[in-house]
Amino acid sequence: MYSSRVACSYIIKIWIEGYAVSFSRLAGAAYISKLFALAVWIAAGSKLDIVEINHRARQPVFTKKAVNTIAVTVEHETSSGFAGVNQKGRVLSVTVDEETIEPFILNTLKNPELAIKLASRANLPAADDIYLQQFQQLFPSGQFSEAAKIAANSPRGILRTSQTIEQFKAVLMQPGQLSPILQYFSILLERGKLNTHESLELARPVLVQGRKQLLEKWLKEDKFAHALPGRQSSKIVVYAKRVGFTPDYASLLQHITRLNPDSGAEFATSLINEETGPLVDVQRVVDIFMAQNLRPEQGYLQTKLLEMNLLNAPQVADAILGNAMFSHYDRPSVANLCEKARLLQRALEHYEDISDIKCVLVHTNILNTDWLVNYFGKLTVDQTVDCFCEMLKVNIRQNLQIVVQAATKYSDLVGPVRLIEMFESFKTFEGLYYYLGSIVNLSTDPEVHFKYMQAATRTGQISKAERICRESNYYSPEKGKNFFKEAKLTDRLPLIIVCDRFDFVHDLVLFLYQNGLGNFIEVYVQKVNSQRAPQVIRGPLDVDADEAMIKNLLASVTGPIPVDELVEEVEERNRLKLILPWLEARIAMGITDVGLYNVRAKILIDRNQNPEAFLKENTIYDPLTVGQHCEKRDPTLAYIAYARGFCDEELIRLTNENSMFKQQARYLVKRRQLELWAQTLQPDNMHRRQLVDQVVSTAVPESQNPEDVSVTVKAFLAADLPIELIEMLEKIVLEPSAFSDNANLKKLLLLTTIQSETGKVMSYIDDIEGIDVCEIARIAIENGLFEEALTLFRKHKMHLEAMNVLVEHVVSIDRASQYATKVNEPVVWSRLGKAQLDGLRIKDAIDSYIKAEDSTNYMETLREPKIDTELRVAYAKTDRLHDTEEFLTMSNVADQLSAGEQVFEAGLYDAARLLFSAISNWAILATTSIYLGDNQAAVDCARKAVKLYENKGYFEELMQLLEAGLGLERAHMGMFTELSISYAKHKPSKLMEHLKLFWSRINIPKVIRASEQARRWPELVFLYVHYDEFDNAVLAMMERSADAWDHSQFKDIIWPMWSCTTKSLSFYLQEQPTLLTDLLTVLVARIDHTRAVKIFQKTDNLPLIKPYLIAVQHLDLPAINEAYHDLLIEEEDYATSRDSLSNHENFDQVNLAQSKDDKLFKDAMITAASSNSNGVVEELLEYFVKIVGWREYQTTTEGLRSAEPVEETEQEPIIGPGFGGRLMLNQGPSKGTVMGQPGGGMQS
């Protein structure tokens, strides 16, 4: 049983008499319908079942049939039916009655559709009228597709005529639709093969459109009729002329003659009688017609004729055979006779046995060479090779040229490998050379190219071998190299070319050197490729050849040499100096190649021949390359090279690795690149501190270019390094330098100090001149440095501005009064009066306005605090909030707290909020906001008033866990660090012990921050010291001296630091004055002695440093000498003073001469005498006269005063204590004098 699903058969046990499968295509169906016919025997009889298999959707349904079984059938040609034997044994003849079946279907069954289908399939004539009638109905109605189907299916093709085609062609094509004629032809092609008329009509438009491939497709599918109209051969010549084509007329004539001799005769006549002359040879025409009458049964006669002519007239036989007049004769017999008649070409044409062919071929002296070469093309490959071998074997000298020609022509057919083996077997390299020479330019076979090189070499054609070595890309380089090595040629140029092309230079040089062929090494680098000189030099260097030989070889090269490669080769072998003569010769020639000067620099560096001058002066070498060469030899030279070429990254790396921070600082200052500064001044740069120190101490002070300093300052500002910037500016502004008078730098120093290190501002104000006073003072005031601003104004005699500072910022009326009395200027008195008036010192204000002669502000004197206070309360109770706000912005003397409390108690919360906001009373303001329902504002006020602290967590458990983890192997640094932080926060008693044990295993910066937050000052100092941040350690000890200061440790730390020396002296002066001498002993070599002396002079503490002054007086500095003299004068130590004066010269002698003020009359007289000045002596004498008179007057006055004592009166302030009994901040003195008058009143 066959399964269509799996496409295979099965054996099943079922009682079936037989089975058969038939395939049929029903009309209108898209697929073949598979039918299964089954014959069944049953008790009631037998039947035939026909069942459709695998019915598809949209397929016509095949109705099942069941009839009596016909066991055997056979076709019955006579009746066009079939004959069969049924189950009952009857022989039946079954056929269709063509005359009655159609009327029966039409009249009885009333089924015209079935009648038409049946007539179409069986070509029944009875339905012709029906087809014609239906076609004539469909066509005029425009149903062209249905009409085309009727015509295509018409019985016996009665409608498939030229008239039907013309009807379809006459129909106009509708836009966007397929033309009716194309629909017609499409249906015909689907149905089957076209007839002659249809083929011609369809072919015309296809050829016009140039779609020949479509026509070829239909011809291959057998859709076209081949029997086209004949007897038109005479038109062939005309057509060929029209299209410009010249066909093979002889072949056409032979073909036409074979099909139709009459047409052939007509065609031959037209060819011969052409106007321009015969288009074909007459003899050839005769031969064609004669060949038509040759018959196989006449073969013995043809043989006999040829034998007769070969024996008696060989030339006639040759002509007959040449014209191919006979074709049925005995060819072996004729071939034998041809050989005997010496017609060897005819013999070869007729022999088929290879042995006979080889016997004839050896007579090449008789045969035509060209004919013979073409003859080999008729033989098989094996026969051709056998013939070549036979010819070479018999007479290689005579036949070699012919064999080479034939081998060349049939090389692709036979194969180069087989032909090469043939020539090599006969050891004929000459033949191999000529054969391969003819094909080598067209071949890509590596063996062909290699064998050609071999053959050319062995035949002495060295130039040809050189050409292949130079131009071919197909031979094996290794095989070529080995061959030329072993060839032992006198000319080694082919070997040189192969090794040069395929990078066997090292092998080549070693081979030539070891075989004593040094002259060819010179030929290679001189004539072949001078670019390979570095690789050539490698060979002699590796075998330790004579240096003279290598130098001569280099000197002989005239072409360009890649210097970098040459340097690399000799440098790898530490033989750099070997190329010095060659290098100097190239430089002497004026060559400015960078590589030459790189080598020159390297040699000078290695030999230490003044390399620094070369690196600085030469501008051709590559700084990066030379710098890398210098790094491990001399970092200083590498620095010069990198700086010369602006190799920023390499220079920074070099100077960091070699601690060359001074050079790095100089380079950065001169480079003036903010991006490079930003890179080096990043906080994570571990070398930043060292770099900054060198910039401050060396690079900037050395610079003379303002632009260098400007860019450096910008870099420090961008890196947020104010302290370091101050140090740098101190160095170039306060000390003698090219920038000491630069106003911008002075201003920057003051501004930076104001913002970052306020303790130095006062000293800078004393030392710096030529600045914008107003701007500096304004910035100082903005930063809260009121005393500094006051000093600045006072120094430059800007008295009004100084008074503004006193009354507006210092807020000290008393000091303002003293200052006004001192300067005694009207504008100052006027400003003081205004301040006193604002402070409710009415009487003092009136006195000041009187002294200023200023009456413009008389209305202010009428103000009273009680009036202003009650006015505010009145505004609040009348709900005049706008007036309240305006009043608050004006100058007034109201008691705002009292007014606010009154308003708050009255429930006027909006007004209370305004009043409390004006005095920033956040606590009461928070309560007021709650009453107003503004909870958010209340919260904000509460946050400003109170700070809450809350601590939560299991800290003890955390510390226990970290302590346990310290004992583990390879405990991480993070554990030691986190335990340190935990101790700092929660168990500070264990922190110091932990740090002393594990300081090297913790992250010190992280623990520093934690210790600072936890206020663990001794531990902080300990960490700073071990982190080498000695300046921070010193500052921490001074700032937290109660906890962190230790004198011995302080001395050890302060010694390497110079930036904190001034601060340390001030610190010891304030807190440890008895230890000052010890500290100064430590710092004696590092401090600025003039500045140190000035510090103690300002504070009047010179006696504390007397041992220090004695220790450093040998320096003979003016400040030290003068301070020491003052101290001795104060101590009245005249002997020591005289000794000091006699041993030291640098001091102010005139000032010392005025020591009469100190009653050292004897010293004054000695000094005046030593000054040799008449003016000084006269002034001293006048002084002695006045002092005697003054003493007498003083004695008399004291006697009178003791007789009549003056009673002092007590003056009270005009306005008593303020609200709540609190004293005013600006309240004047309760007793004494005011403005210089007893009781503060005016003189009568």
For the stretch 144-166, pLDDT in tens is 888 878 887 777 777 788 888 88
Is residue 1225 over pLDDT 50? no
Is residue 200 over pLDDT 60? yes
CB atoms within 10 A of CB 142: 12
SS3 74: strand
If pLDDT is split at 50, 70 and 90, which confidence band does 219 have?
Answer: confident
The Cα–Cα gap between 144 and 165 comes to 12
pLDDT in tens, 519-528: 888 787 778 8
The Cα–Cα gap between 499 and 492 comes to 11
DSSP 683: T
Q: Hey, what's the torsion of the CAs at 402, 404, 409, 415, to 10 degrees?
A: 130
The Cα–Cα gap between 154 and 116 comes to 9
- Residue appearing with tokens 């069986």: 122
pLDDT in tens, 85-116: 876 677 778 887 777 777 787 778 778 778 77
SS3 85: strand
The identity of residue 1018, as a single letter, is P
User: Directed axis angle between helix 909-918 and helix 865-877, to 10°?
Assistant: 140
Q: Give the model's pLDDT for residue 389.
A: 92
The Cα–Cα gap between 17 and 13 comes to 12
If pLDDT is split at 50, 70 and 90, which confidence band does 1197 have?
Answer: low
851, two tokens: 């002294």
Given CA atoms 646, 648, 650, 652 in this order, what sign does their dihedral have? positive
If pLDDT is split at 50, 70 and 90, which confidence band does 1217 have?
Answer: very low
For residues 1139-1164, give the mean pLDDT: 62
For residues 537-555, give the mean pLDDT: 75
Is residue 67 over pLDDT 80? no
> Do the beta carbons of residue 945 and residue 928 sit within 8 Å?
no
Flag the least confident range among 83-87, 455-459, 665-669, 919-923.
Answer: 919-923
For residues 131-139, give the mean pLDDT: 79
- 916 burial via Cβ count (<10 Å: 0-12, 13-18, 19+): buried
Q: Give the model's pLDDT for residue 952.
A: 44
% pLDDT > 70, the chain:
76
Flag the least confident range among 94-108, 241-255, 1112-1126, 1145-1159.
Answer: 1145-1159
Highest mean pLDDT among 443-447, 799-803, 1054-1058, 1101-1105: 443-447
DSSP 108: I
pLDDT in tens, 628-672: 888 878 888 888 888 888 888 888 898 888 888 888 888 888 888
Query: Kind and range of the H or E element at 8?
Result: strand 8-9
For residues 10-30, give the mean pLDDT: 49
Is residue 14 over pLDDT 50? no
The identity of residue 76, as a single letter, is H
For residues 1165-1178, give the mean pLDDT: 75
> Which ranges constitute the DSSP H helices of 46-154?
101-103, 112-122, 128-138, 144-152
For residues 237-266, give the mean pLDDT: 75
Is residue 300 over pLDDT 50? yes
> Do the beta carbons of residue 384 and residue 414 sit within 8 Å?
yes
pLDDT in tens, 777-791: 888 888 888 888 888
The identity of residue 404, as a single letter, is V
Flag the least confident range among 142-156, 251-265, 414-428, 800-814.
Answer: 251-265
Residue 123 φ then ψ, to 5°: 55, 50
% pLDDT > 90, the chain:
0
CB atoms within 10 A of CB 438: 16
Q: Hey, what's the torsion of the CAs at 1149, 1155, 1161, 1167, to 10 degrees?
A: 0
Q: Give the model's pLDDT for residue 542.
A: 74
Nearest to 40 by CA among 52, 50, 30: 50
511, two tokens: 């081979």
The Cα–Cα gap between 494 and 764 comes to 87
875, two tokens: 């505004």
Q: What is the mean pLDDT of the chain?
A: 75
Length of the chain, in residues: 1244
- Residue appearing with tokens 């202010």: 860
264 vs 494, more confident: 494
966, two tokens: 């310290």
The Cα–Cα gap between 1076 and 1064 comes to 10
Q: Give the model's pLDDT for residue 955.
A: 62
If pLDDT is split at 50, 70 and 90, which confidence band does 55 have?
Answer: low
For residues 1184-1203, give the mean pLDDT: 65
CA atoms within 13 A on the CB side of 78: 2
Q: Give the model's pLDDT for residue 944.
A: 52
The Cα–Cα gap between 577 and 554 comes to 13
User: Directed axis angle between helix 446-458 and helix 462-471, to 10°?
Assistant: 150
User: Directed axis angle between helix 429-439 and helix 446-458, to 10°?
Assistant: 130
Query: Kind and range of the H or E element at 1233?
Result: strand 1233-1234
Query: Kind and range of the H or E element at 828?
Result: helix 826-838
pLDDT in tens, 984-1007: 877 888 888 878 888 888 888 888
Q: Give the model's pLDDT for residue 228.
A: 45
If pLDDT is split at 50, 70 and 90, which confidence band does 1194 have?
Answer: low
1233 vs 801, more confident: 801
If pLDDT is split at 50, 70 and 90, which confidence band does 767 have?
Answer: confident
SS3 38: strand
Q: Give the model's pLDDT for residue 1237.
A: 37
For residues 582-595, give the mean pLDDT: 75
pLDDT in tens, 816-825: 888 888 888 8
The identity of residue 909, as a single letter, is Y
The Cα–Cα gap between 971 and 961 comes to 13
For residues 727-734, give the mean pLDDT: 74
Q: Hey, what's the torsion of the CAs at 206, 209, 215, 218, to 10 degrees?
A: -60
Ordered DSSP codes for 867-899: HHHHHHHHHHHTT-HHHHHHHHHS-----HHHH
For residues 345-366, give the mean pLDDT: 85
Report in angstroms the alpha-carbon separations of 79 from 34, 73, 494: 28, 14, 92
805 vs 894, more confident: 805
Flag the least confident range among 65-69, 112-116, 886-890.
Answer: 65-69
Is residue 13 over pLDDT 60? no
1195 vs 1021, more confident: 1021
Given CA atoms 251, 254, 259, 264 in this order, what sign does their dihedral have? positive
- What's the start-to-end Cα distance of the chain, in Å? 155
CA 625 remoteness from chain centre = 25
If pLDDT is split at 50, 70 and 90, which confidence band does 945 have?
Answer: very low
The identity of residue 318, as a single letter, is D
Ordered DSSP codes for 1009-1067: HHHHHTT-HHHHHHHHHHTT-HHHHHHHHHHTHHHH--HHHHHHHHTT--TTHHHHHHH
pLDDT in tens, 163-183: 888 877 778 777 666 778 877
Is residue 269 over pLDDT 80? yes
